[in-house]
Amino acid sequence: MTHPNQDNKHLGGEVFNEDCLSFLARYDGPALDLVYLDPPYFLERQFSLEAASSRVSFQGDWEHQQIESYCEKIAASTGGDSLVRYLSFLYPRLAMIRKRMSERGSLFLHIGQREGPYVRMLLDNIFGLKHWRSTITWQRSHPHNNLTRALGNISDFIYYYTASDDFTFNLLHTPHDEVYLSNCFSNSDERGQYALAPIIQERSRKGHHYEYNGVTPPHGWRLRRETLEAYDKEGRVHWGKNRAYKKVYLHEAKGAALQNIWTDIYNITRTEVDRRKYPTQKPEKLLSRIVELSSKPGDLVYDPFCGSGTTLVSAKQLGRRVLGTDISAAAVEITTDRLGAITQAKAGSLF
């Protein structure tokens, strides 16, 4: 794999001290299979459009005039131009990232609630609305109680887009909560606790019509006869009065399919300062979930604003190839050290 700017500080071609825009403009390595970015939030920060990296040409769906028109409307409605500069900073970088992604690739953009809707307009334009997959709401902290005239702001958005309709996706499951377990897994037999899953079809759907065990549902069965017979023979059918259910055993249940509201991963707290390597560092569990969800071992995972390197650390631990950039030399050093520790740990485990 060849990389631009070989003079940059990096670890085995993985981390580069450079703006992602200029880096990707000259990048000729493998396509990016998964991109996670947590760009600097708006927060009234200043973004210079005169930086050399911002003059790198790119090809997006919008012409420069259209971008300016969109930004002018935002400036008029928000009463300021800081947000305009922020969006103008992001757009060429997002467009360049899309150009370097594989057709099976996914992008997750982590953003705050205030600027999020404006940034999503950029993503819709670059990726196409049909390639928006979900808006994940991440509850990053416990509820705030020191409020007077505001609602507690305890969540971020993570926008999920894909490069095409043929994308990598691995269905994940989360443990059921205790209330659900006590309410649903209330039956038991010699195999253990089980919940009841309907196998008689509802009115709105077409079922399989046949009589079984004296029951002929008006709208049919959800299962084919041979499948129902097999379940019944194994003792996996719970019979009620004119009703039948499949037994779903607790010890066989995968848990709840992952939804788009994530409340089970909290941010790194002040009491965990020894675990925090960078001010905006996100928890490894959050990044590991994203990596597992949208990539497979051997895929290339890229973080254009890698900061403390948590994305790359999580990905490397899961057997993915990694690539990162950051304009902060301190961030690159932290990331390099963390990735180096993984490499050393793996080498040590061989002896």
- For the chain, list the domains and their CATH numbers: 15-172+258-348 (3.40.50.150), 181-252 (no CATH)
The reported pLDDT for the residue numbered 340 is 93
Kindly report which listed range (29-33, 53-57, 346-350) carries the lowest average pLDDT score: 53-57
Q: What angle do CA 116, 158, 18 make, to 5 degrees?
A: 85
The reported pLDDT for the residue numbered 36 is 98
Residue 119: is its pLDDT beyond 50? yes
Distance CA 339, CA 336 (A): 5
Angstrom CA distances, 86 to 75, 81, 90, 191, stand at 11, 9, 6, 58
Rounded average pLDDT over 276-305:
92
The reported pLDDT for the residue numbered 294 is 98
Q: How confident is the model at residue 55 (pLDDT cuts 50, 70, 90)?
A: very low
Q: How confident is the model at residue 279 (pLDDT cuts 50, 70, 90)?
A: confident
E strand or H helix that includes residue 184: helix 178-184
Q: How confident is the model at residue 206 (pLDDT cuts 50, 70, 90)?
A: confident
Distance CA 351, CA 348 (A): 6
Rounded average pLDDT over 172-182:
90
Q: How confident is the model at residue 177 (pLDDT cuts 50, 70, 90)?
A: confident
Q: Tell which wins on pLDDT, 75 or 95.
A: 95
Q: Tell which wins on pLDDT, 54 or 35.
A: 35
The reported pLDDT for the residue numbered 67 is 63
Angstrom CA distances, 42 to 119, 132, 139, 233, 321, stand at 10, 22, 19, 61, 30
What does the pLDDT look like over 120-171, one tens digit per residue? 999 999 999 999 999 999 998 888 777 778 888 889 999 999 999 999 999 9
Q: How confident is the model at residue 249 (pLDDT cuts 50, 70, 90)?
A: very high
The reported pLDDT for the residue numbered 59 is 40
Kindly report which listed range (74-83, 156-165, 185-194, 291-300) carries the lowest average pLDDT score: 74-83
Give yes or no for a contact between 134 and 172, defined as CB atoms under 8 angstroms apart.
Answer: no
Supply 1's token pair: 């794999």
Question: Helix (H, G, I), strand (E, B), or coil: what is residue 45?
Answer: coil
User: What's the pTM value of the predicted model, to 2 decimals?
Assistant: 0.81
Residue 122: what residue type? L
Supply 277's token pair: 């390597």
Query: What is the full DSSP assignment across 209-242?
Result: ---BTTB--TT-BSS-HHHHHHHHHTT-EEEETT
Residue 235: is its pLDDT beyond 80? yes
* Percent of the chain residues past pLDDT 90, beyond the cut: 63
**Which residue from 140, 41, 125 is spatially nearest to 89, judged by alpha carbons?**
41
Q: With 0-12 CB in 10 A as exposed, 13-18 as middle and 19+ as buried, what is 255?
A: exposed
